[in-house]
Structure 1
């Protein structure tokens, strides 16, 4: 099984961090390749930038399918381009936020979300509502970090993620926390593996949950059981206009 994990950032700065977090959790026979975009803007902390980056994500999904990957993970908890990519390709596409909040119940009845900064918190709250998960989500908070600063001091980011998670759990009664930034969560996992003082609370890592869901869906696809509906929300353009679909595909595969 081959899974493409896309860091949807225009830099390789976070690739090794994500790879190191993912590999211990892979099942035997699963290979993960971490890719990043060659694109400007480098990050998508703001909505206009995110909109531009989503074009690169769609191109990366199409390329991953062409390259023979069995599943594609969009490595950002905005889940940017998730619906578009599912419409475009036939391999399973996973968004870390969707995968995480859909799987909170085995970890705890009520949950909170901790993301990276104030701008992200509003977007994540909107996505929780869109996914129909508001009922058991007690709060959406943030650690106050922007992505380009995190890589400079992962241990401090991890401590802030732990402290914020602990505080939100005490304030709201949430039993588990989704650390809903792939890089914040990666910083936490790498640091907590060496520092026992950061363990002891229930947290959900969206990187690992996304890849485990990708493994499951790829396995289902291999035996003909990934039956994505193509009659409504994920209907493909080719069923409506093959000519327009061909034009779109050409745009997404041009160099």
Structure 2
């Protein structure tokens, strides 16, 4: 059986789809059908939190549609892990966040890790996510290479050079053995640089796109074989009965009255 996995770029444009498919498709298992999609009718970039919250509403609809279309798992392709926990309330297929997957997989690569994210605004957010994911004591620190996503895609060589230089500097400063590359697009640019013969960083780089893909493949396999169940009695409880009616009404209202830019 083929696993169908939808890697959703949570951006309202297609600027990042090709590089994700180019750098991630190579690692997909032979029985994985990997699609890379993006959102429609939402802000183009997720660098600021107000845009992030607007993007999440479009993301929820895309996750629901993915399950309806027969996908076996969904990856939300941003290290903010936007909407991941809420999306798990909505669907029964695995919904994977690259940051959460990287935290959970990091111990396989080294005793300690840190996150090298894109811009300064994201640094405290990633610290908060480390605590939320139970990694507050095992993540040595968070730093940034000071790029915004809409700029980095147009200057990939400079981004790759900064990754190589700053990952080594940051790992020494924080005392970490490995570095989680803290943006899915930075990770893709660095992977493209390696594929084109670039010299790797002196410190092992954990690629969150790859961690998310392998977790999605594994959980999709488990679900097909009856080994994956979401606990529905607590945090991920689905609305049922009159709560389901209320949810359906709210969803219809949103889709009928959402702002013009989101239509």
Structures share a fold, TM > 0.5? yes
Are the equivalent residues in 2 in contact too, given 1:111–1:178 (CA < 8 A)?
Answer: yes
TM-score (norm 2): 0.93
Match for residue 181 of structure 2? 179
Are the equivalent residues in 2 in contact too, given 1:74–1:94 (CA < 8 A)?
Answer: yes
1:30 and 2:13 equivalent? no
Match for residue 246 of structure 1? 248
The one of 138, 150, 153 aligned to 2:152: 150
Match for residue 22 of structure 2? 20
Match for residue 116 of structure 2? 114
4+ runs deviating over 3 angstroms: 248-255
Are the equivalent residues in 1 in contact too, given 2:165–2:201 (CA < 8 A)?
Answer: no
Taking the aligned partners of 1:252 and 1:30, their CA distance within structure 2 comes to 34
Are the equivalent residues in 2 in contact too, given 1:59–1:252 (CA < 8 A)?
Answer: no
Taking the aligned partners of 2:247 and 2:42, their CA distance within structure 1 comes to 26
Taking the aligned partners of 1:204 and 1:35, their CA distance within structure 2 comes to 23
Are the equivalent residues in 1 in contact too, given 2:167–2:201 (CA < 8 A)?
Answer: no
Partner SS for 2:234: coil
Deviations 1:72-116 (A, max 9, x none): 000000000011100001110000000001111010111110000
Over the aligned positions, Cα root-mean-square deviation in angstroms equals 1.5
Deviations 1:48-89 (A, max 9, x none): 111111001101100101111000000000000011100001
Partner SS for 1:113: strand
Deviations 1:139-181 (A, max 9, x none): 1001000000111111211111121110011112200000010
1:194 and 2:221 equivalent? no
1:134-145 correspondence to structure 2 within 5 Å = 134-145=136-147
1:199-214 correspondence to structure 2 within 5 Å = 199-214=201-216
1:212-223 correspondence to structure 2 within 5 Å = 212-223=214-225
Alignment coverage as a number of residue pairs = 255
Match for residue 4 of structure 2? 2
Partner SS for 1:229: coil
167-176 vs 10-19, which moves further: 167-176
36-45 vs 107-116, which moves further: 36-45
Gapped regions of structure 2 (runs ≥ 5): 257-262
Deviations 1:191-237 (A, max 9, x none): 02223422442110001110110000000000111111000000011
TM-score (norm 1): 0.96
Partner SS for 1:241: helix
The one of 40, 50, 66 aligned to 1:48: 50
Taking the aligned partners of 1:65 and 1:252, their CA distance within structure 2 comes to 20
